[in-house]
């Protein structure tokens, strides 16, 4: 069967909708604000933002200003919130497109307010409190002072109070609940000053699906919407993987025992076997160490095939000597199911000593995204789309 792409990631939008529904159920009365940062964790932010809009989300979170502007320019009119730090050069576009921003210091509050006022605009901001991440945000003891500074700026409107949890397992870490309660208390103290706080939002994916309570006014699920959570939490949910990653066999050769493979010759055949070359490498998001760890595998014809030799920039090699009939053109699956076998992003992450977030976020621009059960508004950029699919060059 002829394959249309050298390498492609299939994005199951039905699974994404299902995960969004699961998050909404877990959130109860709290609003769902999906976080689509880093190109929706490598899944395709523009297309998934369309789905989010169709599903009626009240707000979408992004990591930085460029991501927000990309969604605006793609026609996404859902309220957008930059969760990270905005810099001065980004203010004109943020104000022009009506993008909300996080405030992490009193100085930034005054800078943002003065600029917005000079433009005759009002910028929506969310005050971030550092309750333990020690990255961005004002210290809790400074929160009231900064809230007053925001309220004093005619060009600003306080639309929310937020924090960020460092615990990877949500409420299984008791510190998470303490941080959340501290945030709720700060919100109440700000309100007692007569300053409205329309929304308090703290819960990320792990906190939401580990039972944080009370949740506040909104929750910010990110990676869970793509079916990925820490193993202990994933086992307790019905979340579905959204992404599968594939390529094809483009060349094969038989090698004798003792033949070294790849840069540095880090793998040597201990028996005669057949190798296949795949047109995907670390420039496309396949970890370099997947071939050197001895734990990397790819699925071909429903069989696990070890990745052998160091992964190079554009290619990698696998051992298919045990796969009957393997031939050029066969599909090779890095993430996903083939027959009775499945490889998940967590397995790849475990093999190379990282986290699954990094695996999906690293999938490069040369990998074609193919969207299944595509949103109605998404337009195809592929001249010969398959039924039920939209492809994007992202």
- Active site residue ranges: 37, 263
Residues in CB range of 289: below 8 A, 6 or more apart = 311, 351, 352, 353
- DSSP alpha helix (H) spans, the chain: 13-27, 37-42, 45-54, 65-73, 91-97, 106-118, 143-151, 174-192, 205-209, 231-234, 345-352, 356-361
Question: What whole-number distance in Å separates Cα of residue 49 and Cα of residue 62?
Answer: 11
Q: Which tokens sit at 22? A: 């699961």
**CA distances to 121, 134, 230 from 212, in Å:** 37, 21, 16
**CA distances to 23, 165, 208, 215, 216 from 205, in Å:** 9, 10, 5, 12, 14
Residue 297, CB-side half-sphere exposure with 13 Å CA sphere: 18
Question: What whole-number distance in Å separates Cα of residue 332 and Cα of residue 318?
Answer: 10
Does the N-terminal peptide bond of residue 167 adopt cis geometry, omega within 30 degrees of 0?
no
CA 117 to chain centre: 34
Calculate the dihedral angle through the C-alpha atoms of 205, 211, 214, 216, rounding to the nearest 10 degrees. Answer: 10
Please, are residues 262 and 310 in contact by the beta-carbon 8 Å criterion? yes
Question: Computed over its alpha carbons, how large is the radius of gyration of the chain?
Answer: 24
Question: What whole-number distance in Å separates Cα of residue 305 and Cα of residue 247?
Answer: 14
């Amino acid at each position: 069967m002829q394959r249309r792409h050298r390498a492609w990631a299939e994005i199951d939008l039905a699974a994404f909708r299902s995960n969004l529904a699961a998050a909404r159920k877990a959130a109860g009365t709290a609003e769902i604000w999906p976080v689509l940062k880093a190109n929706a964790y490598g899944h395709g932010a523009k297309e998934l933002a369309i789905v989010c809009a169709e599903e009626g989300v009240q707000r979408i979170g992004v990591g930085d200003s460029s991501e927000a502007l990309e969604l605006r320019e793609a026609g996404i009119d859902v309220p957008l919130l930059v969760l990270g730090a905005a810099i001065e050069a980004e203010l004109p576009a943020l104000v022009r497109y009506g993008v909300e921003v996080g405030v992490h210091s009193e100085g930034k509050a005054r800078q943002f307010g003065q600029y917005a006022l000079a433009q005759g605009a009002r910028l929506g901001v969310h005050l971030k409190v550092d309750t333990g991440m020690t990255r961005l945000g004002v210290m809790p003891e400074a929160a009231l002072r900064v809230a007053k500074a925001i309220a004093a700026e005619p060009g600003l409107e306080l639309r929310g109070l937020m924090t960020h949890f460092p615990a990877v397992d949500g409420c299984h870490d008791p510190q998470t609940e303490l941080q959340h309660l501290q945030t709720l208390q700060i919100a109440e103290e700000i309100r007692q000053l007569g300053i409205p706080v329309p929304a308090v939002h703290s819960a990320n994916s792990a906190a939401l699906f580990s039972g944080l309570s009370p949740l506040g006014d909104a929750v910010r699920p990110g990676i869970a919407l793509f079916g990925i959570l820490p193993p202990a939490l994933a086992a307790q949910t019905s979340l579905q993987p959204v992404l599968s990653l594939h390529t094809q066999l483009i060349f094969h050769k038989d090698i004798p025992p003792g033949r070294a493979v790849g840069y540095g010759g880090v793998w040597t055949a201990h028996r005669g076997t057949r190798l296949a070359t795949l047109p995907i490498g670390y420039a496309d998001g396949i970890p370099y160490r997947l071939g050197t760890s001895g734990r990397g595998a790819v699925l071909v014809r429903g069989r696990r095939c070890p990745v052998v030799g160091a992964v190079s920039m554009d290619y990698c090699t696998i051992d298919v000597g045990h796969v009957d009939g393997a031939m050029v053109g066969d599909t090779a699956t890095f993430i996903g199911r083939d027959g009775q076998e499945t490889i998940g992003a967590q397995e790849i992450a475990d093999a190379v000593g990282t986290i699954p977030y990094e695996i999906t976020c690293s999938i490069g621009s040369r990998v074609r995204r193919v969207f299944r059960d595509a949103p109605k508004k998404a337009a195809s950029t592929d001249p010969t789309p398959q039924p039920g699919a939209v492809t994007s060059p992202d």
